[in-house]
């Protein structure tokens, strides 16, 4: 499995003004949340849900997304229950 550069277009509304921006990050895309979580746990990476898709990426890439203001959620398996932690 290879890590691909991914570009995501985001729209953010603040004070009735809409901002659109593109964030480029390196990640592996998965078709479902369980595969993403399993891969992330095995490789000491982070699984996230972003724009309806599931990605696994390095924690530093997740920090970059957070700093860029991207809205996403970390996803974890906590004793068989999927837990999401929203960011931004």
Return per-residue pLDDT of the chain as tens, 88 residues. Answer: 445 666 666 565 667 777 677 778 899 999 999 999 999 999 999 999 998 999 999 999 999 999 888 889 999 999 999 999 999 8
Say what the pLDDT of residue 3 is. Answer: 55
Asked if 8 contacts 48 with a C-beta cutoff of 8 angstroms, the reply is no
Say what the pLDDT of residue 55 is. Answer: 95
pTM: 0.81
Say what the pLDDT of residue 4 is. Answer: 60
């Amino acid at each position: 499995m290879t890590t691909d550069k991914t570009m995501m277009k985001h729209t953010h509304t603040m004070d009735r003004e809409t901002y659109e921006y593109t964030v480029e990050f390196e990640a592996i895309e998965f078709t479902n949340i369980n595969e993403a979580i399993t891969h992330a746990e095995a490789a000491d990476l982070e699984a996230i849900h972003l724009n309806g898709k599931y990605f696994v990426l390095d924690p530093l890439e997740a920090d970059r997304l957070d700093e860029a203001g991207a809205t996403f959620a970390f996803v974890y398996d906590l004793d068989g229950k999927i837990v999401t932690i929203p960011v931004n």
